[in-house]
């Protein structure tokens, strides 16, 4: 379904709903776009005014298999017909166990693996850290600049960006050591550490910094980090919350770096839009916590687990990992074709269908958040919903469903190109 705009954006019905929203919803929970969605299918969002958009936000990376995929809907309906939530902490059920078994098989770890499930990406990271602390009997955490790990007190303390994620919410947790993110331009510096590695429980890294601006870790630095962790008995955690489930061209992005993690944190696209997160990892590490030390009332909800099993089947059957590379190649080609005409495009970077377009001031080379906002607005008014990223808010990110059709992809890239050129 191609994009089609019938009204001014936002339309009259969206404006009417916005009045209720501002009266009833807490101000702190913002929204990037002012359009209210009535229906979503495939790579399209349809608002209450009948405007059709192509979706490059994908629920912030939760819709790799597309909105309302029929196989996900079938799995959800089937599970709801049996039971919705007996709570795994009270009595176990097959969908949880089946998903744990499947993810343990898929994890790029040569040793036996186990899994545990939660609800959000922040919960996954928090529990991965808890498991690491139990295993190592240490309390230090290594994180990296430009990282986003969540909004809980622990994960917010691990997150790099101050505004809006940390502003006014301190004091933050101690023993969290932030290192410069190891990109191709700034490799991992082992000689700059000002702490004792033997006090560190875990190092948490995104193979591609998501909220930080779609910055891939350099291959060399990822291998150095793996060796460093092994040398000092540090648990290596790959944060795959945004990079996982086909987005970068493999089930887990870490597969492309030639290293094995100890733990993998997952969320977002794992369950086709339903709330589900998890930690997958080496059995001896996962089993380090005492019984009752991890879990939660809604963790591993059976409906979400059923959806996740369907998602994994879809990724395999529709070859979405291969599709991610094709999409990424087309995005890069499109943007490179206009770079010469647009000196405010600093670069395009990323892996697979996780591409970030960096917008700068052509005179200074500094991040240009204002121009990025204009690009976003121009695209929205022409039928393309997308979100920005980056520590400085100057990166346009592509998180379209990997199931996007050829005509929708072509049209959306035309809208994006026009928006960049006219900003």
pLDDT digits (tens, 9 = 90+) for 409-419: 999 999 999 99
What are 76-114's pLDDT values in tens digits?
Answer: 999 999 999 999 999 999 999 999 999 999 999 999 999
- pLDDT above 70: residue 400: yes
- pLDDT above 70: residue 191: no
Poorest-confidence range of 91-100, 163-172, 204-213? 163-172
What are 274-308's pLDDT values in tens digits?
Answer: 999 999 999 999 999 999 999 999 999 999 999 99
Poorest-confidence range of 7-16, 189-198, 264-273? 189-198
pLDDT class of 188 with cuts at 50, 70, 90: confident
Q: What angle do CA 240, 69, 316 make, to 5 degrees?
A: 55
What is the structure's pLDDT at 163? Answer: 84
Average confidence (pLDDT) over 56-80 = 98
Domains in the chain, CATH or no CATH each: 12-55+319-421 (3.90.1150.10), 71-317 (3.40.640.10)
- pLDDT above 80: residue 187: no
- pLDDT above 90: residue 190: no
pLDDT class of 184 with cuts at 50, 70, 90: confident
Let me know: does 43 contact 408? Beta carbons within 8 Å: yes
Please classify residue 171 by burial: count the beta carbons closer than 10 Å to its beta carbon, then call 0-12 exposed, 13-18 middle and 19+ buried: exposed
CA distance 394 to 372: 6
Q: Which of 153, 152, 150, 154 is nearest to 141 (CA)?
A: 154
What is the structure's pLDDT at 357? Answer: 98
What is the structure's pLDDT at 144? Answer: 94
pLDDT class of 185 with cuts at 50, 70, 90: confident
What is the structure's pLDDT at 243? Answer: 98
What are 341-378's pLDDT values in tens digits?
Answer: 999 999 999 999 999 999 999 999 999 999 999 999 99
Token duo for residue 7: 């009204």
Cis? peptide before 164, omega within 30° of 0: yes
Helix axes 94-106, 302-317, angle to 10 degrees: 40
Cβ density class 126-149: b for 16+ within 10 Å, e for less: bbbbbbbbbbbebbbbbbbbbbbb
Q: Within a 10 A sphere around the Cβ of 231, how many other Cβ atoms?
A: 9
Q: Which of 153, 148, 136 is nearest to 204 (CA)?
A: 148
CA distance 307 to 268: 12
What is the structure's pLDDT at 388? Answer: 94
Q: Please provide the average confidence, as pLDDT, over all residues in the chain.
A: 96
Does residue 315 or residue 192 have the better pLDDT?
A: 315
pLDDT class of 174 with cuts at 50, 70, 90: very high
Among residues of the chain, what percentage have pLDDT more than 70?
Answer: 99
């Amino acid at each position: 379904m191609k994009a089609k705009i019938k009204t001014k954006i936002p339309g009259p019905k969206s404006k009417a709903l916005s009045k209720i929203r501002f009266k009833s919803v807490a101000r702190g929970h913002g929204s990037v776009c002012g359009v209210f969605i009535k229906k979503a299918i495939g790579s399209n969002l349809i608002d209450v005014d009948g405007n059709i958009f192509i979706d490059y936000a994908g629920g912030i990376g939760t819709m790799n298999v597309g909105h309302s995929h029929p196989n996900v809907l079938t799995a959800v309906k089937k599970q709801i017909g049996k039971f919705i939530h007996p709570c795994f902490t009270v009595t176990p059920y097959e969908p949880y166990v089946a998903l744990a078994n499947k993810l343990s098989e898929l994890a790029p770890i040569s040793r036996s693996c186990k899994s545990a499930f939660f609800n959000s990406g922040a919960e996954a990271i928090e529990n991965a850290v808890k498991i690491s602390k139990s295993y190592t009997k240490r309390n230090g955490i290594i994180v990296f600049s430009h990282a986003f790990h969540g909004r809980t007190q622990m994960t917010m303390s691990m997150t790099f960006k101050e505004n809006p994620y940390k502003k006014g919410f301190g004091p933050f947790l101690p023993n969290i050591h932030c290192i410069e993110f190891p990109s191709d331009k700034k490799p991992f510096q082992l000689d700059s550490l000002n702490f004792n590695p033997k006090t560190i429980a875990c190092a948490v890294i995104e193979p591609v910094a998501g909220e930080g601006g779609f910055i891939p870790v350099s291959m060399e630095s990822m291998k150095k980090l793996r060796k460093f962790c092994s040398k000092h008995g540090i648990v290596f955690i790959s944060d795959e919350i945004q990079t996982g489930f086909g987005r970068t061209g493999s089930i887990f992005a870490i597969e492309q770096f030639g290293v094995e993690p100890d733990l993998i944190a997952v969320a977002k696209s794992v369950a086709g839009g339903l709330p589900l997160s998890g930690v997958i990892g080496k059995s001896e590490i996962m089993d380090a916590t005492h019984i009752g030390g991890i879990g939660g009332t809604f963790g591993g909800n059976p409906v979400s687990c059923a959806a996740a099993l369907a998602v994994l089947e879809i990724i395999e059957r529709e070859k979405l990992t291969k599709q991610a590379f094709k999409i990424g190649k087309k995005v890069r080609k499109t943007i490179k074709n206009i770079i010469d005409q647009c000196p405010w495009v600093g670069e395009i970077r990323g892996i697979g269908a996780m591409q970030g377009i960096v917008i700068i001031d052509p005179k200074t080379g500094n991040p240009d958040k204002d121009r990025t906002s204009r690009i976003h607005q121009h695209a929205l008014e022409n039928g393309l919903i997308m979100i920005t990223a980056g520590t400085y808010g100057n990166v346009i990110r592509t998180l379209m469903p990997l199931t996007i059709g050829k005509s929708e992809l072509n049209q959306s890239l035309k809208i994006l190109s026009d928006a960049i050129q006219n900003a």
